[in-house]
């Protein structure tokens, strides 16, 4: 089965005024669609891999045939990362998580504010295009990191539960060069229920 662009669980304008409708529509229908299309073109050369979960390919890129490894890393990563990113936002989101993930954040980083500062720093200082992440590491601890381009934390043995796209295509129409303003605005649309669900699926 070829990979397909997932539907959003909300309208393109749902995240206004923090993320504008035009950015959301272009981001979803052009950028994300392009990753899906290019991933499918690559997998045509090794069609058995259509049946392997994309996450499994990204977790073990060395197992991907060399002639399509870079394409899977970039376009497969793009598809996986954006699929996660859309679910992590909602209208009327934001605030602070209260359940187990909120407690784990407090335990790991000292406080929610200290976590937020660390995550913001990762997002702001990622040079060029990339992502900021909150992941669960191999020992079950939480870890803030960033990756370049469309690299997935899965490829580094991490399981991402929160993601922020800091490519210019994610914010340039509304915020131009002001990435920090976009980052501050994004916290208002974070879907903490989804983060909680992601966390509990991993730690049980
Ligand atoms: Mn993007």
In percent, the amount of the chain with pLDDT more than 70 equals: 100
Q: What is the pLDDT of residue 129?
A: 97
Q: What is the pLDDT of residue 192?
A: 98
The pTM of this model reads 0.97
Contact criterion met (CB below 8 Å) for 136 and 202: yes
Contact criterion met (CB below 8 Å) for 142 and 105: yes
Q: How far is the CA of 114 from the centre of ligand 1 (A)?
A: 26
Q: What is the pLDDT of residue 57?
A: 98
Block mean pLDDT (10 aa), the chain, length 204: 96 98 98 98 98 98 98 98 98 96 98 98 97 97 98 98 98 97 98 98 92
Contact criterion met (CB below 8 Å) for 161 and 135: yes
Alpha carbon distance 154, 136 (integer Å): 10
Could you list which residues have their CB under 5 Å from ion ligand 1? Answer: 165, 167, 170
Torsion of CA 158, 163, 167, 169, to 10 degrees: 140
In SS3 terms, 46-71 reads as HHHHHHCCHHHHHHCHHHCCHHHHHH
Q: How far is the CA of 85 from the centre of ligand 1 (A)?
A: 9
Q: Which residue has the tokens 């509990």?
A: 200
Alpha carbon distance 124, 122 (integer Å): 6
Alpha carbon distance 59, 63 (integer Å): 9
Alpha carbon distance 143, 147 (integer Å): 13
Q: How far is the CA of 107 from the centre of ligand 1 (A)?
A: 31
Three-state secondary structure call for residue 144: strand
Q: What is the pLDDT of residue 204?
A: 81
């Amino acid at each position: 089965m070829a990979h397909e662009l997932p539907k959003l669980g909300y309208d393109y304008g749902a995240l206004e005024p923090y993320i504008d409708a035009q950015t959301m529509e272009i981001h979803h229908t052009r950028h994300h669609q392009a990753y899906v299309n290019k991933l499918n073109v690559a997998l045509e050369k090794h069609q058995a891999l259509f049946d392997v979960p994309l996450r499994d390919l990204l977790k073990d890129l060395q197992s991907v045939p060399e002639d399509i490894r870079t394409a899977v890393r970039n376009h497969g990563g793009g598809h996986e990362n954006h699929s996660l990113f859309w679910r992590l936002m909602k209208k009327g989101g934001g605030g602070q998580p209260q359940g187990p993930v909120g407690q784990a954040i407090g335990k790991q980083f000292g406080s929610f504010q200290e976590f937020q500062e660390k995550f913001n720093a990762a997002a702001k200082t990622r040079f060029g295009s990339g992502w900021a992440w909150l992941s669960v590491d191999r020992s079950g601890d939480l870890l803030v990191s960033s990756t370049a381009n469309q690299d997935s934390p899965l490829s580094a043995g991490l399981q991402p539960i929160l993601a922020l796209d800091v490519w210019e295509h994610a914010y340039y129409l509304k915020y131009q060069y002001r990435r920090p303003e976009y980052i501050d605005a994004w916290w208002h649309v974070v879907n903490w229920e989804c983060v909680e669900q992601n966390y509990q699926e991993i730690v049980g």
